[in-house]
Amino acid sequence: MKMLGAILAGGHATRFGSDKALARLRDATLLDHALNSLRPHCAALIVVGRDDAPVATIHDLPVPGLGPLGGIAGALAFAADHGFDAVLTTACDTPDLPDALVTALMAEHVAYAAEAPTVGRWPASLARPLLAHLLNDGPRSIRHWAATAGAMAVLPGVTLANVNTPADLADLAGA
């Protein structure tokens, strides 16, 4: 199974007030933490939705501004075009993925974290159906689309660290 790791980083970070991906948590940026959380599980890594990153970058599909589902669509298209079987996604504001969550995601054909749907395992074969969904102005909720794709929500009740505000970052740094 050739897995692509994709960090979703195309948001505007309005609640955060600055570029969240470049915010520092201890010794590294949130983006670096997210990349490091995927690295052991993936053959290659990309960042979706921004132009600068320490790995290859791609754009959301079909256009920017569709939220995380547009980022997943971009990652799935890249995976399908470059010979990957599936994509493991996370967001730049989710700096750590517990091993138990990754194991649960990998055990399913298509799955997402019940408490954080930006974290998921999506087969590359979903690239065209997701793009069609977005081009037909379908709902942009990951959970809604995941249900239509037959995705399994895994590990309900397991909360992941998520940074939406400077206070969230400060709390996480103090943990």
Q: What CATH number is given to the structural domain containing 148?
A: 3.90.550.10
- Mapped onto helix, strand or coil, the DSSP state of residue 89 is strand
The 3-state secondary structure of 126-150 reads HHHHHHHHHHCCCCCCHHHHHHHCC
Tell me the pLDDT tens digit for each residue of 49-63: 999 999 999 999 999
The arithmetic mean of pLDDT across residues 114-131, rounded, is 97
The arithmetic mean of pLDDT across residues 146-153, rounded, is 96
- Cβ-based neighbours of 36, under 8 Å, separated by 6 or more: 28
pLDDT recorded at residue 174: 87
d(CA 15, CA 155): 27
pLDDT recorded at residue 45: 98
The arithmetic mean of pLDDT across residues 78-103, rounded, is 97
The model's confidence at residue 38, banded by pLDDT at 50, 70 and 90, is: very high
Q: How many domains does the chain have?
A: 1
Peptide bond connecting 62 to the previous residue in cis, omega within 30 degrees of 0? yes
pLDDT recorded at residue 26: 93
pLDDT recorded at residue 139: 95
The arithmetic mean of pLDDT across residues 98-109, rounded, is 95
Closest by CA position to 30, among listed 7, 4, 64, 63: 7
Amino acid at position 117, single letter: P
Amino acid at position 87, single letter: V
pLDDT recorded at residue 168: 95
* Domain extent at residue 13: 3-174
d(CA 12, CA 129): 26
- Sheet of strand 3-8, all strands in order from the earlier edge strand to the far edge: 56-58, 44-48, 3-8, 86-91, 116-123, 111-113, 152-154
Amino acid at position 66, single letter: L
pLDDT of 169 higher than 80: yes
> Considering the chain, what is the average pLDDT of its residues?
95
Inter-residue contact 9 to 92 (CB < 8 Å) = yes
Highest mean pLDDT among 14-18, 77-81, 157-161: 77-81
